[in-house]
Amino acid sequence: MRSNPVYRRERAVRARSLRIPLIVFVFNGLLAAVALLGMYSAVEHVKASSFIQYSNFLQLYVFVVTLEFLMLIFIMPALTSGSISGERERRTLELLFTTRMPPSKIVTGKLCSAFGQLFLLIVSSFPVVVLTFVYGSMSVQDIGLLFLCYVTAALLTGGIGILFSCLMRRSTLANVCTYGVLLLLMAGTYMLNVFLYGISRTKADSMLPVAGQLRPAADSGAAVYLLLLNPGTTFIEILGSQAVGSVDGMLISSFLGNRPLNVVTGNWILVSLGVQLLLAVCLIWGAILLLKRRE
């Protein structure tokens, strides 16, 4: 990647800009403030009641990593959706097209630059996340899975951003479309499942009990598989496996009813991470093809 001119240029510009230190400061400042206030409250509760409620620290962990996840989800599209369209607006994209640099290098350079900024945010936030482990800890595997979830979500949202950046002439429009699709992917798929689950539940409740038969449990049907595309659901599943009981109502299992687990639902985290990585690769590939066609 160091040989990619676009990446090197972005890195050079970023290195002397005040924007990145400011984002790191605000991002970690917010995380630290939440973590320290949470800890202060938990410790004060211990002092007042002489009773240590360990679930408080677990909740604190859930809160901090969720905040981190949400920030990443919203920062990555902002970094990528204006990257190619910005070059077009500056009229530098056509200059790049007349050079010998292939479109794939332009896209990967931009993506890696945004990813580098995000990686900096994730790594710089580790000390704050570790604060929440003062009264407990977690395995390296758990940390690794959480990190993989962050990387996947960043690639997916970055892929959406860069695709729209190649597709749209204006950065503002690319931004709006990126966040629109992201909203559809995260809130849309989840709300669809909630809606279908609600209908199914109404149906199940209205059925008369038959002697000797279990009343069927409500589920959201095949729509649950749409959640494989939703990085938020994967993150919640990971949290559910690490901090048991903290996000119970939001887990996939609540949409499955009493259907037996299959390969996908039984290995939801890994399958959804795989699907999202594949989707991210497709989006990035799509962006490269679009740029090649416009070259």
Partner 1 sequence: MLKIRGLKKKFKNFQVLDGLDMDIEEGALYGFVGPNGAGKTTAIRVITGLLRPDGGTVEIGGRDAFAYREQVKQEFGYVPDEFGMYDNLKVREYMEFFASCYGLDGLVARNRCMELLEQMKLLDKEDDYVDSLSRGIKQRLCLARAMIHDPRFLVLDEPTSGMDPRVRMEFTEILREMCAEGKTILISSHILSELSRMCTDIGIIDAGKIVLSGSMSEILRKVNDSNPLRIRLCGEREAAVDVLKEDRRVQTITIRDGDIVVNFHGDQTAEAELLARLIACGARINGFFREQGDLESVFMQLTNHEFQKVVFHSEE
- Cα separation, 165 vs 86, whole angstroms: 8
CB of residue 98 to partner 1, shortest distance in Å: 5
Decide if residue 42 touches partner 1 (CB under 8 A).
no
Q: Which is nearer to partner 1, 47 or 91 (CB)?
A: 91
Q: Which one of 32, 78, 101, 194 is in contact with partner 1 (CB under 8 A)?
A: 101
CB of residue 20 to partner 1, shortest distance in Å: 13
Decide if residue 44 touches partner 1 (CB under 8 A).
no
Decide if residue 90 touches partner 1 (CB under 8 A).
yes
Q: Which is nearer to partner 1, 92 or 172 (CB)?
A: 92
List the one residue out of 128, 96, 115 whose CA is nearest residue 30: 128
List the one residue out of 61, 68, 67 whose CA is nearest residue 244: 61
225, two tokens: 């598989």
Q: Among the candidate windows 52-60, 90-98, 129-137, 171-179, which touches partner 1 by CB under 8 A?
A: 90-98
Q: Which one of 53, 55, 92, 172 is in contact with partner 1 (CB under 8 A)?
A: 92
Q: Which is nearer to partner 1, 91 or 169 (CB)?
A: 91
Q: Which one of 63, 97, 225, 285 is in contact with partner 1 (CB under 8 A)?
A: 97
Considering only residues 139 to 198 of the shown chain, the ones binding partner 1 according to CB under 8 A are none
Q: Which is nearer to partner 1, 110 or 197 (CB)?
A: 110
Decide if residue 8 touches partner 1 (CB under 8 A).
yes
CB of residue 9 to partner 1, shortest distance in Å: 5
Q: Among the candidate windows 1-9, 117-125, 144-152, 216-224, which touches partner 1 by CB under 8 A?
A: 1-9
Decide if residue 99 touches partner 1 (CB under 8 A).
yes
Tell me the per-residue interface mask from 10 to 39 with partner 1, x by CB under 8 A, - otherwise. Answer: --xx---x----------------------
Q: Which is nearer to partner 1, 194 or 289 (CB)?
A: 289
Task: Count CB-CB contacts under 10 A for residue 143.
Answer: 16
- Cα separation, 111 vs 83, whole angstroms: 9
CB of residue 18 to partner 1, shortest distance in Å: 12
List the one residue out of 88, 220, 58 whose CA is nearest residue 167: 88
CB of residue 11 to partner 1, shortest distance in Å: 12
What are the residues binding partner 1 (CB under 8 A)?
Answer: 3, 5, 8-9, 12-13, 17, 90-92, 94-101, 295
